A and B are shown apart, each in its own frame.
Chain A
Amino acid sequence: QDKKPFVEPIVSVPVDVLEATA
C-alpha cells in the first residue's frame, strides 16, 4: 500500500550551460 510504481533512475545526457543560456 501507498507505494508508487517504480521507475528506473535516469540521468540525462549532458547539456552545455552556455548553449542553453544563449
Chain B
Amino acid sequence: MSESIPSPHEHIVFTEFDDTEGVLVDLNSKRYYTLNETAMIIWRGLEQKRTREEIIRDITDAYDVTAEHAAQSLDKLVATLQARKLLPADGGR
C-alpha cells in the first residue's frame, strides 16, 4: 500500500523564484520561509498530492542519492514543515 503525506494548508502560498530557490508565505501568521532546491521538489510533490513513494522517486530521479537516504530526508523535512504548521499533522489530508 502506498503511503500518503498530508497536503499543504490552503493558507500557505508557494512561489518559485527559479529552479534553485522558492518561498512559502503563511498568510495567517504573516511569515515567510525559504526552501532550497530539494525542498522545492518535495513541496511540489505535496501540492500535487503525490504519495511518499512517488516523491522519493522524484528525488532519486533527479539526484545521485539512494531511495533510503531520500526517504529519510523526506521524513525529516515533513516533520519540520509540520512543526512550523506549514503542513497538517498526519491524517490531516
Contacts and interface: CB of A to CB of B under 8 A. Distances in A.
Nearest to A13: B33
A9 B32 contact: no
Contacts of B76: 8-9
Contact of A14 (B32, B63, B65, B73): B32
A6 B65 contact: yes
B35 A11 contact: yes
A16 B31 CA distance: 4
A4 B63 CA distance: 5
Interface string B29-52: 111111111110110000000000
A22 interface: no
B86 interface: yes
Nearest to A3: B64
Contact of B64 (A5, A13, A17): A5
Interface of A: 3-18, 20
Interface of B: 24-26, 29-39, 41-42, 59, 62-65, 69-70, 73-74, 76-77, 80-81, 84, 86
